[in-house]
Structure 1
């Protein structure tokens, strides 16, 4: 049963700092709270996790989140804890003792969310394990893995169907970022949730600029691209391990901060590189597709595909790792026919059966069509996921350099009529043979040579018809059924064009070689639209964020994302009430980090003699009822130690030590010597003298000199005590 008093919107503001839900999130949450099974199709960066995290806070019991991505588990659990939410994970990276401790907490009701790997549910004791918990909701992330039609099919995931068989009364929420109609249908069937309420969110990510460039002189193109976007984080995806190492080395030789990542690297290397990337210590990762799964780094500004991906689903998921904070970002794809041939060879040599190989070839063909397209690339992506749009996006290379268009209504009517007269049963090659009047064996056996549409398009070459039909498909004029021999299907748009109720414009056919020459003459430019921010203040806030992240042992974006920092640098809040108006600042993060950021902003405003920025305080009720420092002081006066205060307030030890230092500076009677040993104090002071550091200087050099043996909180405490003696 849900606590009705805990309204989802209030929880969203309190824990996540957002004033409103994104499209469809509220509806999805309400369906889950009513105990209904739900299938959620939402693009990467679209806010899928909120859909089950908010219900988890409302439900009395435990929400089990099943995810194949260990990196994601750790990332999301850290983020949830930073937002004041009791969460933990169980996976193979932990010792048996650690796993037992987490499970005990879950059984005692101390957790709201428990992340587990699917493999844990395949164990012999899985049913007994789950029945020992008070479960309110199952959330299955990356649910496309259960379907053979999905781009990342894992046969063992079929076992997840046992959840509904054993726990029929517990609602299931299946989530995925990429799944076409066939895949979505199969997900529901495999999970036993055929009556699930289905939500398909818009796949449009308008902040990501889409560009395709010929795959020649790639390194020169990448270098020019990076010079146009200095200091920004990005990922370059390569098809082979060898290429990842070569490209990373070439970039380092050109002065860029870059490292490689692939399945052949040691676990220690992969872990180290991933940590450096999410902590902003490395700018560029050159990787195989294994990298990025489950990483919630919000300030990745660009993604480059060095080689053509094998399918649109994977491509869309990978470019979705850019611009998760909504800021302008860029996706650049290099395309060459050598990639097509290599991909086809991989398919031929794979162990898949012939039906599955056929699916893989068809999906590769759609990826090729995206790369070759002469119409808005975003419309092609959205059409693939059955999302129809009326206008071109204006933020892809085709829109920015539009081709010449022609009235193709009659041409389209010929093709659509042929599809209709064959009973919507033919694929591309047969359709073109009918239109061009070919009398091959298939045409004659099927009697297609007797159709009224036979040979009505013999004035066009095969390549021209293939191009125009693909443009029609990409524009959503008709659909394709992969599970029915890749046959074309009519839709509402098809009927409207056939009846003369709608006209259609297509791009004039241009051969690929001609387009390559034209594109070679165009430079790659990244979107540069920015919020009106004070860039110097933004840089200082990023530095503060990184220092706090080191202290907390979390990635910088878990403190605040770039968009929130830009809002701070734009509006320069100077009070707690004003700070709570910044998107992404909730009560929990206000308590943890607000004082540090307010102090930095006030200092900057004073140093630069800046005037206050008017901020409309529309949410006065969000101001914390009790000052966070006073709350810490009250517990201190009760005789509690720093660790006990941290546990009671659900804050980190370093945060509490920071509170105590601030209280001392503000004149409160605080004995700081209680919180740092004499030995630690002397060690810190000695090291600080060697570096000529004061308590107000950045602490990272000192932390590193002490080899991490002393926490940031203790370092601050020792330096503050030393400063008071001067």
Structure 2
């Protein structure tokens, strides 16, 4: 291999165009260079791939990267080829001539990094064939997939425990962006790496702005969030296939370019949507969690959840798909009492073993507590990963607009009493009507106007009482059941409140919209850090990049990220030497694109 005699620092500079490592990258690379196994936990956008790519190039042999998705592998390979690295991916969608080329390169020892799925790797023919190759490192990417506790568990990953038998003496590196302590322990156990080094960077993503709102008008709240997305992409997560179709249509009716994505689509449909998403088009993908790993587009400016995720781990993985370029991105979670009650109900109905249900219950309750917290959301979220973040983050809604709390004991008693006196047979809409003293056909039919609780809450709005009900569901004092979302009491939690034995502090729900409260930023606003004279240069560079990407049939960000183009626009280099000193412009890209970039800049 042509980099074997180079130091990691040389390769980082010459190939990747960076003058120094970030965070734990240097330690992870050094560990692999010594032939040691390691578990590397870094947030999305933290530069995990460099941790294994550089040892793969500097150590004798070929790097083998186990990755779960074809799209993810293809993006990584395209990016490495842009850097002048001979990389390839073995998967089921390869054309015959590409497969023949890969086999030829392997047989000649010319391939430097090979990406492969766990299923393909562990098939008898492939594993036997690759076992005859000299390997520099084995990287297990998205390693949370190997854990039964991971949010995207894949049973086939468990067979990776056999890697030391197939490839003895080859250092392994497991990498993931999200794993709580239980998941980390399971990863190490499953891979037989219990004594391996663990390198854990802070999970804090200071460029992610976190907003959480109770659901009021779902479509209105969603369009408010998406209206600020600028020229980047957005992802909207929904809990069901039908909902993705419905929401995507509603957004299209409002003028958004929105497409649904879920497991029910054909492979051809999925590929077409992914191609549009990767093209750099300002598009909204409305998706189930089927649209997950493999999303490498750096300029996702907004991620919205219309249904509450099952755990903080799943939530953080999903919002981590925003802002991979390090620029500001906004995340919005809309939730309601129905979400909480439904999740608890389905967990109760699960056939999972009791030990597994207990863990799932803990994670669900942590997610519910996160939605209702009045403190810093980032601190609450990072605590789920065992990280004690010392100060409020200043980039979540609770930090930007601190939440007030009030003694809600009397309000809680009124709600619980109304549920009890209506025989625990009605939902939130009817109960709110009773509390506010509104005469409706249902109230008259059931004679609820004669109840002592009728009209005791007429001084408050419907939205206010719905907020009290939601918070009582979150506390576990109310449960919801049936297709009509009937509310009932949870006696062990509700009884002390009704008796006045427990004080209930509740949060004042924010009434500001997502635009006019702690206002969401836009991608265009990120350009405000550009001097006025640099903006035309940035626009010209983006236009050149798009044209080049279309010609090569690759995503534009594979050529240069926006962050690099901004630096070029600011620096305004006039020589190749000057351009080559800009972070992110390595030797191969300078050779390939340097003259074209300088020519584009001369158009201004």
TM-score by length of 1: 0.66
Structure 2 vs 1, CA of residues 597 and 518 (structure 1 numbering), >3 Å: closer, same or farther? closer
Deviations 1:216-250 (A, max 9, x none): 21211222223333333111111111111111111
Q: In the aligned structure 2, how far is the partner of 1:567 from the partner of 1:115?
A: 31
Counting only pairs closer than 5 Å after superposition, residues 209-220 of structure 1 correspond to structure 2 as 209-220=209-220
Alpha-carbon deviation of 1:24? Answer: 0.5
SS in 2 for 1:139: strand
Counting only pairs closer than 5 Å after superposition, residues 612-651 of structure 1 correspond to structure 2 as none
Q: In the aligned structure 2, how far is the partner of 1:358 from the partner of 1:385?
A: 18
Task: Tell me the residue number matched to 2:46.
Answer: 46
Alpha-carbon deviation of 1:260? Answer: 1.2
Q: Which has the higher contact order (CA 8 A, sep 6+)?
A: 2
Residue 526 in structure 1 maps to residue 548 in structure 2: no
Q: In the aligned structure 1, how far is the partner of 2:34 from the partner of 2:592?
A: 34
Which moved further from structure 2: 154-163 or 353-362? 353-362
Q: In the aligned structure 1, how far is the partner of 2:250 from the partner of 2:536?
A: 31
Q: In the aligned structure 2, how far is the partner of 1:267 from the partner of 1:166?
A: 32
SS in 2 for 1:199: strand
Alpha-carbon deviation of 1:352? Answer: 2.6
Q: In the aligned structure 1, how far is the partner of 2:155 from the partner of 2:344?
A: 23
Deviations 1:485-514 (A, max 9, x none): xxxxxxxxxxxxxxxxxxxxxxx97425x3
Q: In the aligned structure 2, how far is the partner of 1:285 from the partner of 1:43?
A: 23
Task: Tell me the residue number matched to 1:84.
Answer: 84
SS in 1 for 2:529: coil
Q: In the aligned structure 1, how far is the partner of 2:105 from the partner of 2:504?
A: 64
Q: In the aligned structure 2, how far is the partner of 1:585 from the partner of 1:347?
A: 50
Residue 300 in structure 1 maps to residue 300 in structure 2: yes
Contact 1:258–1:282 (8 Å) recurs in 2 = no
Task: Tell me the residue number matched to 2:19.
Answer: 19
Counting only pairs closer than 5 Å after superposition, residues 332-411 of structure 1 correspond to structure 2 as 332-403=332-403
SS in 2 for 1:515: coil
Structure 2 vs 1, CA of residues 292 and 535 (structure 1 numbering), >3 Å: closer, same or farther? farther
Which moved further from structure 2: 535-544 or 90-99? 90-99
Q: In the aligned structure 1, how far is the partner of 2:401 from the partner of 2:96?
A: 58
Task: Tell me the residue number matched to 2:599.
Answer: 599
Q: Which has the larger radius of gyration?
A: 1
Q: In the aligned structure 1, how far is the partner of 2:153 from the partner of 2:370?
A: 23
Alpha-carbon deviation of 1:517? Answer: 5.1
Q: In the aligned structure 2, how far is the partner of 1:543 from the partner of 1:313?
A: 38
Q: In the aligned structure 2, how far is the partner of 1:217 from the partner of 1:36?
A: 53
Stretches of structure 1 lacking an aligned partner (at least 5 in a row): 407-462, 468-507, 605-726
**Number of residue pairs aligned between Structure 1 and Structure 2:** 506
Task: Tell me the residue number matched to 1:687.
Answer: none
Task: Tell me the residue number matched to 1:130.
Answer: 130
Q: In the aligned structure 2, how far is the partner of 1:138 from the partner of 1:263?
A: 30
Structure 2 vs 1, CA of residues 149 and 209 (structure 1 numbering), >3 Å: closer, same or farther? same
Alpha-carbon deviation of 1:330? Answer: 0.8
Task: Tell me the residue number matched to 1:446.
Answer: none
Task: Tell me the residue number matched to 1:142.
Answer: 142
Contact 2:225–2:515 (8 Å) recurs in 1 = no
Deviations 1:387-423 (A, max 9, x none): 21221111110001123599xxxxxxxxxxxxxxxxx
SS in 1 for 2:566: helix
Task: Tell me the residue number matched to 2:427.
Answer: none
Structure 2 vs 1, CA of residues 127 and 165 (structure 1 numbering), >3 Å: closer, same or farther? same
Contact 2:298–2:325 (8 Å) recurs in 1 = yes
Partner of residue 506 from structure 2, selected from 491, 506, 511: 511
Task: Tell me the residue number matched to 1:425.
Answer: none
Alpha-carbon deviation of 1:17? Answer: 1.5
Task: Tell me the residue number matched to 1:64.
Answer: 64
Contact 2:4–2:60 (8 Å) recurs in 1 = no
Cα root mean square deviation, aligned: 2.4
Counting only pairs closer than 5 Å after superposition, residues 463-502 of structure 1 correspond to structure 2 as none
Task: Tell me the residue number matched to 2:453.
Answer: none
Residue 583 in structure 1 maps to residue 578 in structure 2: no
SS in 2 for 1:103: helix
Contact 1:107–1:134 (8 Å) recurs in 2 = no
Alpha-carbon deviation of 1:524? Answer: 5.4
Alpha-carbon deviation of 1:562? Answer: 0.8
SS in 2 for 1:298: coil
Which moved further from structure 2: 396-405 or 211-220? 396-405
Which moved further from structure 2: 362-371 or 77-86? 362-371
Q: In the aligned structure 1, how far is the partner of 2:169 from the partner of 2:281?
A: 47
Alpha-carbon deviation of 1:34? Answer: 0.3
Contact 1:145–1:152 (8 Å) recurs in 2 = yes
Contact 2:55–2:136 (8 Å) recurs in 1 = no
Q: In the aligned structure 2, how far is the partner of 1:318 from the partner of 1:136?
A: 32
Deviations 1:234-278 (A, max 9, x none): 111111111111111111111112111111111111111111111
Task: Tell me the residue number matched to 1:540.
Answer: 540
Q: In the aligned structure 2, how far is the partner of 1:551 from the partner of 1:97?
A: 21
Contact 1:75–1:295 (8 Å) recurs in 2 = no
SS in 2 for 1:330: strand
Counting only pairs closer than 5 Å after superposition, residues 249-288 of structure 1 correspond to structure 2 as 249-288=249-288
Structure 2 vs 1, CA of residues 127 and 293 (structure 1 numbering), >3 Å: closer, same or farther? closer
Q: In the aligned structure 2, how far is the partner of 1:340 from the partner of 1:255?
A: 32
Contact 2:42–2:48 (8 Å) recurs in 1 = yes
Structure 2 vs 1, CA of residues 101 and 598 (structure 1 numbering), >3 Å: closer, same or farther? closer
